[in-house]
């Protein structure tokens, strides 16, 4: 008996997905406007989120339902560690910290793992499938937007243990559909997935202030250079 969970999640989170894509930080990112300091703060938050999720999944490795979607080839913890070492240096652990929205996200993951572990499926779906689906596009944007070279700073988007992403996503969705859950649980998982999108949106929104300041500084610097250049050109013309 199929729960049709994959289809329910796709349809049930469509609005939340669109809303997340329209958060200012995400819209700027998708347009290629990427500010390194804001981005590395996001990477730090994601590190805490994925660490919490992956630790709880490991604890539930014998759970009859959660264990079925515990695909270790999806784990992002070590990839994020590589990126943090690039953005912060070797002592990155001493520098990174959770933002308020990130802390609330982590707390929710820990809470449901202890009380309603099946709901972790929603967080796995929201994060991992999204990363896998848009990973290469986002990687290319990050590389161009931050002038990254030699593969540095983008390990998060690399799934070395998944050679065929399309086939893997089909397998993941099939696994969702075959989970032994009833309609009531499927509905709760969809609700939790929408909540997960909301938690991601709050993390993005926290970064908007830093991004706006950075863009403002870039514009100010550009205008200053133009004025300086214009003044210099005027002086040269007068001298001639």
How many CA atoms are closer than 13 Å to the CA of 150, on its beta-carbon side? Answer: 1
Average pLDDT rounded to a whole number, residues 129-141: 87
Q: Is residue 106, in this structure, part of any structural domain at all?
A: yes
Residue 205 lies in a domain: yes
Closest CA to 65 of 223, 183, 178, 151: 178
* Owner of token pair 């949106």: 201
User: For the segment 157-172, what is each residue's pLDDT rounded down to a tens digit?
Assistant: 999 999 999 999 999 9
| Residue bearing the bigger pLDDT, 143 or 221 | 143
- The pLDDT tens digits for 86-126 are 999 999 999 999 999 999 999 999 999 999 999 999 999 99
Q: Do the domain assignments include residue 183? A: yes
**pLDDT score of 118:** 98
The mean pLDDT of 123-133, rounded to a whole number, is 93
43 contacts 204 by C-beta, under 8 angstroms: no
Say if 51 falls within a structural domain: yes
Domain with 32 in it: 5-210
Residue 29 lies in a domain: yes
| The pLDDT of residue 229 is above 90 | no
pLDDT number for residue 230: 56
Residue 1 binned pLDDT confidence (cut-offs 50, 70, 90): low
CA distances from 176 to 52, 87, 99, 122 (A): 21, 35, 31, 10
Our count of domains for the chain comes to 1
Burial of 102 (C-beta count, 10 Å sphere; 0-12/13-18/19+) = buried
Region 212-230 average pLDDT: 53
Checking if the pLDDT of 60 tops 60, the result is yes
The whole-angstrom separation of Cα 90 and Cα 96 is 12
Assign 137 a pLDDT band (cuts: 50, 70, 90): confident
Between 230 and 169, residue with greater pLDDT: 169
Q: DSSP letters along 137-205, please?
A: HHHHHHHHHTT--TTTT-GGG--TT-S-HHHHHHHHHHHHHHS---HHHHHHHHHHHHHHHHHHHHHHH
The structure's pTM equals 0.86
Instruction: Pick the more confident residue, 29 or 59.
Output: 59
Is residue 146 included in any domain, yes or no?
Answer: yes
Mean per-residue pLDDT of the chain: 89
**What is the per-residue pLDDT for 213?**
55
CATH number at residue 196: 1.20.910.10
The answer as to whether 222 is a domain residue is no
Choose the weakest-confidence range: 21-25, 146-150, 198-202, 236-240.
236-240
pLDDT confidence tier of residue 224, bands split at 50, 70 and 90: low
The yes-or-no verdict on residue 219 having pLDDT over 50 is: no
Tens-place pLDDT, residues 189-210: 999 999 999 999 999 999 886 6
Q: Work out the average pLDDT over 126-141.
A: 89
Report if residue 231 sits inside a domain: no
Q: Does pLDDT of 28 surpass 60?
A: yes
- The four Cα atoms 148, 92, 75, 67 give a dihedral, to 10 degrees, of -160
Calculate the alpha carbon distances from 196 to 71, 124, 146, 235 in Å.
19, 10, 28, 59
């Amino acid at each position: 008996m199929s729960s049709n969970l994959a289809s329910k999640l796709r349809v049930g989170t469509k609005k939340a997905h669109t809303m997340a894509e329209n958060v200012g930080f995400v819209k700027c990112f998708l347009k290629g406007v990427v500010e390194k300091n804001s981005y590395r703060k996001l990477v730090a938050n994601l590190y805490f989120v994925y660490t919490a999720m992956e630790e709880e999944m490991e604890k539930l490795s014998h759970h009859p339902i959660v264990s079925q979607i515990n695909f270790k080839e999806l784990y992002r913890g070590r990839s994020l560690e590589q990126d943090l070492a690039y953005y912060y240096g070797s002592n990155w652990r001493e520098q990174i910290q959770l933002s308020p929205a990130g802390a609330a996200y982590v707390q929710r993951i820990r809470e449901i793992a202890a009380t309603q572990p099946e709901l972790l499926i929603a967080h796995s779906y929201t994060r991992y499938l999204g990363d896998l689906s848009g990973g290469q596009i986002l990687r290319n944007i990050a590389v161009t937007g931050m002038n990254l070279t030699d593969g540095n700073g983008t390990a998060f988007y690399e799934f070395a243990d998944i050679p065929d992403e399309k086939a893997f996503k089909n397998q993941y969705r099939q696994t969702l559909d075959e989970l032994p859950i009833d309609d009531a649980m499927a509905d709760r998982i969809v609700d939790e997935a929408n909540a997960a999108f909301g938690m991601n949106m709050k993390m993005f929104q926290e970064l908007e202030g830093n991004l706006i300041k950075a863009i403002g500084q870039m514009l100010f610097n550009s205008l200053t250079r133009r004025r300086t250049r214009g003044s210099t050109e005027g002086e040269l013309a007068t001298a001639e």
